[in-house]
Structure 1
Amino acid sequence: MIDQNLLTPRQIVAELDKYIIGQKEAKKNVAIALRNRWRRMHVKSDMQREIVPNNILMIGATGVGKTEIARRLAKIADAPFTKVEASKFTEVGYVGRDVESMVRDLVEQSVNLVKQAKKEEVKVKAEQAVEDIILDALIPPVRNRGTVSTTEVGEAQDSSRMSDAELNERTRERFREKIRSGEIDDRKIEVSVQAPQGNGIGMIGGGMDEASMINLQDMLQNMLPKRTKKRKVTIAEAKKLLLEEESAKLIDMDEVKEEAIKKAENTGIIFIDEIDKIAGGSKKNGGGPDVSREGVQRDLLPIVEGSAVNTKYGVINTDHILFVAAGAFHVAKPSDLIPELQGRFPIRVELNSLTEADFYQILKEPKNALTKQYEALIASEGVSLEYSDEALHEIARIAFHINAEVENIGARRLHTVMSKLLNDILFDIPEQIPPNAKVLITKEMVQERLNGLVQNKDLSEFIL
């Protein structure tokens, strides 16, 4: 990850280019939005509070990279990120999720990020504590030292000149080295671990909103005593189980909550997908669904404008959260959104539909390209998979052709095509194709296996 202090817009675009092909205008705008956040945090006057992020509205067909741009941007910035579908929200009186839940989801992500960073800081101390617990299970207190065999004690057996405590300490140190080296990872020991909490406490009756319900459940769970249970596990498993618990004991959760709220407020990114689904269509006076859509927009408005939202970790202000909305806008237009909401997304970016050349680059260049994913999957069986350049061009041509003939689902079409192409190979490994074999995907093989997709007009079997 790049140091955030060095995240210039050009560097951000260069990082995005490693995973996303094309869409230069969209990348440029999100890079500026991210850099502006850093700039705002370094404004030394009261103006800092007045500078609000320029939220972005991405317009483009499915599968062109809208979600991926926002998701990768959050990873580059180490920022909390949450994605929601606008169509899942409904105004009060309709069944659905409360719009504030997306902010609560963001805070949850932020808490996890901060908690993980804090756990890394205390990892060495936590590992020492875990070693002590495992040693206590292996080497009982001095009075009951009957379970350690004389052969394992080894040199420490010379007890004529040592007290029991000294002998015990030397034995523990020898076993500590064995634990660290993994020499006795397969040995089973009995440890006490925290029992998992229940799935929540059910409430009878209505009249309570989602935030109040979460807070009440959290409060009741904190009042209940923590339960532990004994488990017989290998030392390797005990290390993992106990490390999580010991790390949690060493970090200050109040500090985590404060930092997480601040991180979510200043660096959080909320991606609202399918915003076109809640845009009012041509019917201005219609009832039913159109009323509900406009209601959702009006519920979203205060969140995007900036408001205080209550979460179980504290109150969060949404003034400086970056909102990125996206939609295909095939039926509705951005102008069908209510004017107040339109005004809250001043940056509009139209993403280009993918060309055949784009498909070829998507297969070849990104660090997480689908071709590389399949190479890694097959390599786990000891089989080498390679593609000729002509084969990649042919896969791109077929995927583009199917999108044009049936329905344009963008780069997601490549998943269908690659799966159809490689299914037989994946099925034949390792019986028919043994380890250390090499499989080369040629243009002829692609045509033979995929031409049926192109020729068959009724492609419903293969459509995602």
Structure 2
Amino acid sequence: MLSKDQYLTPKQIVAELDKYIIGQNDAKRNVAIALRNRWRRMNVKEDIQGDIVPNNILMIGATGVGKTEIARRLAKVADAPFVKVEASKFTEVGYVGRDVESMVRDLVEQAVSLVKHAKKEEVKEKAEEVVENIILDALIPPIKKPSTNFSSQNDDSVAIPVDDAELNEKTRERFRDKIKSGEMDDRKIDISVSQTSTGGIGMVGGGGMDETSMMNIQEMIGQMMPKKSKKRKVTIAEARRILFEEESSRLIDMDEVKDEAIAKAENTGIIFIDEVDKIAVGASKKGGPDVSREGVQRDLLPIVEGSAVNTKYGVINTDHVLFIAAGAFHFAKPSDLIPELQGRFPIRVELENLTKEDFVRILSEPKNALTKQYRALIGAEDVDITFNDEAIDEIASIAFGINAEIENIGARRLHTVMSRLLNDILFDIPDIIGPNAKIVIDKAKVQEKLDGMVENRDLSQFIL
């Protein structure tokens, strides 16, 4: 359990979100409070701890205003398992297109992955030492030093002088240093890689068996089958990666990983249900698809309320999983959701549409701003590109104008505009624009490249 000092305060959480997300302060404050409340719950008296349920959040806002990014960044700040699902996927085939419990199973998979990664970091040093020895043995097999000048256990034994054994050890140490420094990464060696053979066993599912159940049964059969070793010739760099995965997996206790992952998913897991407005029953209630939508809501309800879900790692209880739902709600209202589901999302946050000034900030301020991304990409070719303030202002103005006149897709429009602006440059590097070149994007360059984009209004080019 994290101490008070290790867990971020709401103000610190908002500050972390501010590094990547412009505006939407109300939404950031609410998710920060929800995250801090988790630490508070885990540190109250046990007799009331189980009764404190998370305040699930419903985000209302147009596409591209930052709903998904807020939820995803929140999970990263909390080092929590995170799953995003589209509610509309559950209505695609028949009555329910996909088993709604699958999102909880996906959450546990994410938790297992996070815990395994943390455990591997703990045994990293020991695993790397084992891998180093395996690679060294493949390059220079060790010679056992005899207790006397010559080994002479029987007439058929091979005599090994002490000097040879010592020379072998010194040579191994020299090569160990070369392996550590990466000097021999391109050299190829033979290694044995363990693999599980299922013997080509296929599964024919019976009625009612979903895809997840089928995969679980196949995995169980795979674990029961004997493991075989396969010889592979790979570079030392590749061998280090393959063998590290094997050795670190051997050093960690998977039962412990499963228990920790279940606890992590139950107490810190975040499930983001996007497009929840698509399963809202319209005011007309004409039947047909609306029946399916209401059915999906009723299937989601017990999971959001709190229920036990079977996974291949064990049973997970969803009582304290944080659910964040989001939707544009252009053609439906939150009140079109069934009352029971509405009640499970007591915190409602309306996200604001992005302004041109927001676009200017999005292009330049966040750690992952588009201008910084393109500068890094082009910098990989040893070419330097800069965007002056007037250029950024013009890009924002054009993107905002297209959103206003065609279809508002929020900050995603900036990706389209930036791609159109830089396509020729990206194509010309490195054949025409060589290394060490310096490119400056100014207002005139932006207008030259994007004026046609504004005039033509060809939807096929501009809508993502």
TM bucket (normalised to shorter chain) is: over 0.9
Matched residue SS, 2:461: coil
Corresponding residue for residue 155 of structure 2: none
Determine if contact 1:23/1:351 at 8 Å carries over to the other structure: yes
Larger CA deviation: 91-100 vs 248-257? 91-100
Moved more, 250-259 or 188-197: 188-197
Please show how residues 12-411 of structure 1 align to structure 2 within 5 Å. 12-90=13-91, 94=95, 96-140=97-141, 142=143, 162=162, 165-195=165-195, 201-284=202-285, 286-411=286-411
What secondary structure is seen at the aligned counterpart in 1 of 2:111? helix
* Offset of residue 132 of structure 1: 1.4
How far residue 196 of structure 1 moved from its aligned partner, in angstroms, is 6.8
CA offsets 1:74-99 (integer angstroms, 9 cap, x no match):
00000000000001114995362100
Separation in structure 2 between the aligned mates of residue 430 and residue 163 of structure 1, nearest angstrom: 56
Q: 8 Å contact 1:90–1:293 — kept in the other structure?
A: yes
Among all aligned residue pairs of Structure 1 and Structure 2, give the percentage whose two residues are the same amino acid. 76
Q: TM-score, normalised by structure 1?
A: 0.92
Number of aligned residue pairs: give it.
447
**1:349-388 Cα shifts (integer Å, max 9, x gaps):** 0000000000000001000001100000000011100011
Distance 1:161 1:333, change over 3 A: same
Query: Who is 1:156 aligned against?
Result: none
Q: Over aligned residues, Cα RMSD in angstroms?
A: 2.1
Amino acid of the structure 1 residue aligned with 2:69:
E
d(CA) in 2 for partners of 1:75, 1:201: 38
CA contact under 8 A between 1:211 and 1:310: conserved in structure 2?
no
What is the TM-score when the length of structure 2 is the normalising length? 0.92
Residue 173 of structure 1, CA deviation = 2.6
Following superposition, the deviation at residue 56 of structure 1 comes to: 0.1
Unaligned runs of 5+ in 2: 145-158
Post-superposition, which runs of at least 4 consecutive aligned residues in structure 1 deviate over 6 A? 196-200
CA deviation vs aligned residue, 1:241-286 (integer Å, no higher than 9, x gap) = 11111100000000000000000000000000000000001222x2
Matched, 1:11 2:7: no
Compare 245-254 and 226-235 and name the one that shifted more: 226-235
**In structure 2, distance between residues paired with 1:312 and 1:434:** 53
Give the secondary-structure state (helix, strand or coil) at the position aligned to 2:460: coil
Compared CA separation, residues 206 and 160, structure 1 to 2 (3 A): closer
Inter-CA distance 392–236: structure 2 relative to 1 (3 Å threshold): same
Q: Is the CA contact 1:142–1:168 (under 8 Å) kept in the aligned structure 2?
A: yes
Query: C-alpha distance in 2, partners of 1:236/1:4?
Result: 40
**SS, match of residue 400 in structure 1:** helix
- Distance in 2 separating the partners of 1:429 and 1:341: 53
Aligned-residue offset at 1:288: 1.7
Change (3 A) 1:276 1:388: same
* Structure 2 residue aligned with 1:147: none
Counterparts in 2 of 1:50 and 1:131: CA distance versus 1, 3 Å: same
Task: State whether residues 196 and 223 of structure 2, in contact with CA within 8 Å, keep that contact through their aligned partners in structure 1.
Answer: no
> Structure 1: 5+ residue runs without aligned partners?
144-158
Deviation at 1:191, TM superposition (A): 0.2
Name the structure 2 match of 1:432.
432
Separation of aligned partners in 1, 2:255 and 2:116: 11
Residue 314 of structure 1, CA deviation? 0.4
